[in-house]
Amino acid sequence: MGRGIDRFRIPPGARLRPQAWDGDDTSGFRGGKSAAVRELEKLRSRLESLQELLYAEHRHRLLVVLQAMDSAGKDGTIRRVFQGVNPQGVRVASFKVPSVEELAHDFLWRVHREVPATGEITIFNRSHYEDVLVARVHHLVPKPVWERRYREINDFERSLSEEGTSILKFYLHIDKDEQKRRLEERLEDPTKHWKFSLSDPRERRYWGAYMRAYAEALGRTSTDWAPWYFVPSNRKWFRDLVVCRVIVHALEAMHSKYPPLPRALRSLRIT
């Protein structure tokens, strides 16, 4: 099962060169789209069973972090990878521009309260990483403040991990011209207008600065306890496949089991 996913895992301390990032890269996968769709179908039913086990066993927690530029497919990934799971045990937390109340606290405050409880999977649609991405690119805080956040994030995630939360982080990478196509489509297709935000073309102008911020964030916060995966995402079928493979692999590694009937109930007769 581990096949093909390790090459996307970012080694701790990696010095990444965003110039070399390629959203089209599917080189580790020999089959084409139809093979990927078939595999995804199988993985999804595996995910469904594993998630039920996680929920039933009530021992582990899983946090999935999704980060990407606009239109790279955070929403689509959530929809397509998690379709079919039991909504009782899976939750999505989306992080927007912080409210006045959120801004009055440390940047991890709003994040900590959304982390998964025992037996749960929580998906972060954006995350505390915005505080070293948008906050850095737009100088929302001074440099010494975002600089120390890499360490604060690593400490925070380490503590979650030591308390029993598995953490998987995905950066969905599309190329700049792929984003152009997708934003144009959002403008043209009436069923996609709602997805378009005026901030999308504005943020696009900071593409280079965002890529540098991502490169540094991924390199400095990919850790043994909370690894980052770089996911080439121009092709949606490949993106979904990589994310689903990594998640299924991590859930398999938990070796969850259905809890046995408590001793006191073993001789119970239903009358």
Q: Which residues bind ligand AMP (CB under 6 A)?
A: 70, 95-98, 126, 130-131, 134-135, 140, 197, 199
- Residue 63: CB minimum distance to ligand AMP, A: 17
Taking the C-alpha atoms of residue 256 and residue 9, their distance in angstroms, rounded to an integer, is 24
Number of C-beta neighbours around residue 84 at 10 A:
12
Contact between residue 198 and residue 95 where contact means Cβ atoms under 8 Å apart: no
Report the residue number whose CB is nearest to ligand AMP.
130
Nearer to ligand AMP, 45 or 199 (CB): 199
- Residue 75: CB minimum distance to Mg ion, A: 9
H or E element in which residue 220 lies: helix 207-221
What is the per-residue binding string for Mg ion in 171-210, x denoting contact by CB under 5 A? --------------------------x-------------
Taking the C-alpha atoms of residue 265 and residue 259, their distance in angstroms, rounded to an integer, is 13
- The option from Mg ion, ligand AMP, none interacting with 135 (CB < 5 to 8 A, set by class) reads ligand AMP
Nearer to Mg ion, 25 or 70 (CB): 70
70 binds Mg ion per the rule CB under 5 A: yes
Which distant-in-sequence residues (6+ apart) come within 8 Å of 51 by Cβ? 85, 86, 89, 90, 121, 251
Nearer to ligand AMP, 56 or 141 (CB): 141
Taking the C-alpha atoms of residue 46 and residue 50, their distance in angstroms, rounded to an integer, is 6
Nearer to ligand AMP, 192 or 249 (CB): 192
- Strands in 90-94's sheet, in edge-to-edge order, are 90-94, 121-125, 61-68, 165-173, 228-232
- The option from Mg ion, ligand AMP, none interacting with 49 (CB < 5 to 8 A, set by class) reads none
Q: Report the interface residues with Mg ion, using CB under 5 A.
A: 70, 197
